């Protein structure tokens, strides 16, 4: 199976060469726009391009996709690393809303309702086809997009979810940050994988996304009391399993 970048390279070789005069004319016809708008245009195109072709695709193909020359592309972003960093800020971390943390901690609202509302919005705003594909491509390319996103946003989210779940269940929350996060992954991991199944694996199940989100939230909350009560206060071992299987 050929990589996307190989296919792109092959398609470029098959294109009939345009006479220099016509190529020059086409380049001059590129519409001028303010630097801020040009930057936003390139970021938008780069997001879609990288999500479809991966982060190892050549910048020449990216420039073609943006309808600009490589020279113009590099006048806006000095190198590929700076472009990828900007895509992360605008398209990966950017859609996450700080207000979600506030709403998750509004204890006058039932926790199940808070979690369902949050993950419904998170699924629609974050777990899109382009977002997920770029996130996976970046992980495979060992680019720091996934580790940075998890460190800057998701760890806080996981701890918030677990602390709120413990409070709602009337049980003591673990003191360990690592354990709080790992428990939060029980729910967050399932919702994230739901997006991967629907958008990457192309799972065509007829069950609505909202119904699946409610199922995962309900299962998580029902398991929290038993889960937390079975952790030893002195460590991370779970009493429900043998220590030496």
The verdict on residue 178 lying in a domain is yes
Tell me how many degrees the CA angle 140-39-196 measures, rounded to the nearest 5: 30
Encode pLDDT of 176-229 as tens digits: 999 999 999 999 999 999 999 999 999 988 999 999 999 999 999 999 998 888
Q: What single DSSP character describes residue 42?
A: H
Count of structural domains, the chain: 2
- Does any domain span residue 154? yes
Domain assignment present for 61: yes
- Residue 8 confidence (pLDDT) above 60: no
- Give DSSP secondary structure letters for 137-191: HHHHTT-THHHHHIIIIIHHHHHHHHHHHHHHHT-PPPS-HHHHHHHHHHHHHHH
Domain that holds residue 34: 27-88
Within this chain, do residues 125 and 146 fall inside the same structural domain, yes or no?
yes
34-56 pLDDT per residue, tens? 888 989 999 999 999 999 999 98
């Amino acid at each position: 199976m050929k990589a996307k970048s190989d296919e792109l390279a092959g398609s470029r070789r098959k294109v009939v060469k345009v006479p220099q005069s016509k190529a020059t004319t086409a380049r001059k016809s590129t519409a001028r726009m303010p630097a801020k708008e040009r930057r936003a245009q390139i970021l938008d195109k780069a997001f879609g391009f990288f999500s479809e072709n991966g982060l190892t695709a050549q910048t020449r193909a990216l420039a073609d996709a943006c309808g600009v020359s490589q020279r113009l592309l590099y006048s806006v972003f000095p190198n590929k690393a700076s472009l990828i960093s900007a895509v992360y800020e605008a398209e990966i971390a950017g859609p996450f809303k700080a207000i979600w943390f506030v709403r998750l901690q509004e204890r006058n609202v039932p926790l199940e309702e808070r979690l369902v509302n949050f993950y419904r919005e998170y699924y629609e705003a974050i777990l899109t086809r382009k977002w997920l594909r770029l996130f996976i491509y970046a992980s495979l390319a060992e680019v720091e997009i996934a580790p940075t996103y998890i460190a800057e946003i998701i760890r806080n989210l996981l701890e918030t979810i677990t602390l709120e779940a413990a409070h709602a269940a009337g049980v003591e929350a673990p003191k360990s940050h690592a354990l709080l996060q790992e428990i939060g992954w029980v729910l967050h991991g399932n919702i994230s994988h739901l997006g991967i199944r629907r958008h990457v694996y192309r799972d065509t199940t007829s069950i609505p996304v909202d119904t699946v989100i409610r199922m995962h939230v309900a299962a998580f909350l029902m398991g929290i009391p038993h889960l937390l009560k079975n952790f030893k206060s002195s460590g991370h071992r779970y009493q429900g399993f043998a220590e030496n299987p």
